[in-house]
A and B are shown apart, each in its own frame.
Chain A
Amino acid sequence: MAKITMREAISQALWEEMERDPKVFILGEEVGVWGGTYAVTKGFYDHFGPERVRDTPIAEAAIVGAAIGASMRGLRPIAELMTINFAFSAMDHIVNEAAKMHYMFNGQMTLPMVIRTVGGGGRQLGATHSQTPDAIFAHFPGLKVVAPGTPADAKGLLKSAIRSNDPIFFIEHATLYQTRGEVPEGEHLVPIGKSTVQRTGRDVTVVTYSKGLEISLKAAEQLAKDGIEIEVVDLRTLRPLDMEPVLESFKKTNRAVIVEEGWLSFGVGAEISARIYEDAFDYVDAPIRRVAQKEVPLPYNRTLEQMALPQVEDVIKAVKEVI
């Protein structure tokens, strides 16, 4: 198997799906001539042409809205929002239209569309361009929210997302684009809505996803040197949330730490911990700990920014606290 970057994996998924199905097309700011702000669609414009790789005006509501309309009529648009921070300009269309349409019209309309976007902090882009508001999007029934943590999952989940008949919000973490991993060539599908164990262990269950996975796996290496074996469960999809592997692991370890890059309050960790308490209370041997971003708008200054973001040491500390 080839070792490629997350960027290449995502690019591969898009390319293969566009080759496979002429109904699949991309629209967004700078996706065409420029080749994608994160170079994910480099070469697409020349190969697939301007009809299928459509540069748009800077108009997020129009991008998502047009994707909705086209998907209602059977096309399979992939709308790219340059970053997740600009998704707020299209929030109405994501929340009030895309997430509602199938239900509200009694199943008449289906929206086989993907919104691809880039989230996360850590690149000194300042408060407006560094957010990890994934939990917000996971709040709405009717939308599916996917956030891969490995190149292989990114490819497999994106291919599944493009083939799915539901609207999918697909979050890529900006600092994971260079992450390398083994990715199957050609057909490789990972089911949406399935969590998975990325590292087995007996002592503590660490639940995480996206950037949190990278941090947690690094923490696992270091903890192993102290003889502590954590089991890392990767959610991969935030909605619908698959708690099976989480609960199964927790019933074995009786201890949990949840790691996410978004803010602590009302976040993914809050949801997971509530569910563990509700569904596995008898197995709880220690208070569940959450590792998340400090409750501040992310500062520009590198030191301050890193102070606010969850670090490997934070995970190690939390794990040691629950043992």
Chain B
Amino acid sequence: MDKMEHLDLYRQMVIIRRVEERAAELYQQGKIGGFLHLYIGQEAVSTGLISARRPEDPVITAYRDHGVAINCGISAKEVVAELLGKATGCSGGKGGSMHMADVTKNYWGGHAIVGAHLPIASGLALADAYNKTSGVTICMFGDGASNIGYFHEALNLSKVWNLPVLWVCENNQYGMGTAVERASAVSEMIQKASGYGMKGVRINGMDLMEVRETAEKMMAEIRAGSGPQFLEIMTYRFRGHSMGDPERYRKADEVHQWQENDPIGIHRKYLLDHQIATEEELNQQDDLAEKEVQEAVEFAESSPEPAAEELFKHIYVEE
């Protein structure tokens, strides 16, 4: 990685963090409706992971999707506009927080039914197998999703058909208020992957470099024909499951302990310790991120609502 890329990835994480902080405010002000699942604490996971992809690699994820959207190249403007339900949002205001996509960036969305996008990811990967093209599909999902049937159908199918897909479980240790050990028969998700004859690797998701390097290696193997692999990334969400979560299922101490492990702080320290960037340069990136997000919020707030005729648009391709 060259210095430019290092700075870029650092800035991406900060942009995600700032977007989410602003989103929380906008939600409190009643400007964002519905559910809002924040990614704060998990930024190194998607930032490291997506940085390891090539443009031909499709990406698909669950509803905790703002960070991934930004990593895939959707602008903060379009993300915030989508949160506000504006016509300028990446899904035209018709998707909302949980349904952000940009097909031109090979990013196939945010999907809000837990686990339902895993079989779809098999299909995305099947397209590369079928066309004999070189894409590797990255499919992200939570620990909770590993308990629904779709997970098992999709993993099994991907192995049987030897599909080029990297299954990425973001193990943030809770599905809503249910801790992994209360919902899953095994505590390590890679154990489930081994049930489908798949190589599984378990890593620390608070460390961007570890995520990036592991993902790069696994994707290279998949591209070379290894078949599907499974990456379990240990992480933690610093905020509630969604807005208004009373968080009765975990202790404040536990949250504080994890917050000590802030992925942005860890990466900042890494860049300084390895003399990749100076304090000044990083502050400059912080300012750039701050400015970009401020502009995004202004853009979104001043953007138009979708026109009434949008209501009946895009139900079918052919009427």
A interface residues, Cβ below 8 angstroms from B:
25, 51, 54, 56-57, 59, 61-62, 64-75, 77, 92-93, 96-97, 102-110, 141-142, 144, 164-166, 240
Contact = CB atoms under 8 A, between A and B. Distances in A.
B192 to A, nearest CB: 16
B113 A97 contact: yes
Nearest to B95: A104
B113 A92 contact: yes
Given A62-B154, A75-B127, A92-B116, A107 B121 contact: no
Contacts of A103: 94, 314-315
B92 interface: yes
Contacts of B146: none
Interface centre among B95, B124, B127, B319 (most CB of A within 10 A): B127
A102 B316 contact: yes
Given A69-B124, A96-B113, A108 B130 contact: no
Contact of B153 (A61, A67, A104): A61
A97 B315 contact: no
Contacts of A25: 130
Contacts, number: 138
Interface stretch (B7-15, B103-111, B173-181, B210-218): B103-111
Q: Which 5 A-B pairs have the closest CB atoms?
A: A69-B123, A65-B119, A106-B92, A73-B127, A62-B153
B30 interface: no
30 contacts: A61-B116, A61-B119, A65-B116, A65-B123, A66-B120, A66-B122, A68-B123, A69-B120, A69-B126, A69-B127, A70-B124, A71-B123, A72-B124, A74-B127, A75-B127, A75-B130, A97-B111, A97-B117, A102-B314, A102-B317, A103-B94, A103-B315, A107-B92, A108-B102, A164-B317, A164-B318, A165-B318, A166-B316, A166-B317, A166-B318
Interface string B113-151: 100111111111111001100000000000000000110
B58 interface: yes
A69 B108 CA distance: 9
Contacts of A74: 127
A69 B94 contact: no
B235 interface: no
A169 B278 CA distance: 59
Interface of B: 58, 60, 91-95, 99, 101-103, 108-109, 111, 113, 116-127, 130-131, 149-150, 153-154, 156-157, 160-161, 313-319
A165 B153 CA distance: 26
Contacts of B130: 25, 51, 70, 75
A71 B108 CA distance: 12
A141 B160 contact: no
A162 to B, nearest CB: 13
A122 B162 CA distance: 40
A86 to B, nearest CB: 13
A165 B317 contact: yes
A106 B319 CA distance: 15
A144 B316 contact: yes
Interface centre among B93, B120, B126, B149 (most CB of A within 10 A): B120
B99 A104 contact: yes
B314 A106 contact: yes
A110 B156 CA distance: 26
A105 B113 contact: no
A164 B111 CA distance: 24
B119 to A, nearest CB: 2
A97 B116 contact: yes
B315 A141 contact: yes
A65 B122 contact: yes
A102 B118 CA distance: 18
Nearest to A51: B130
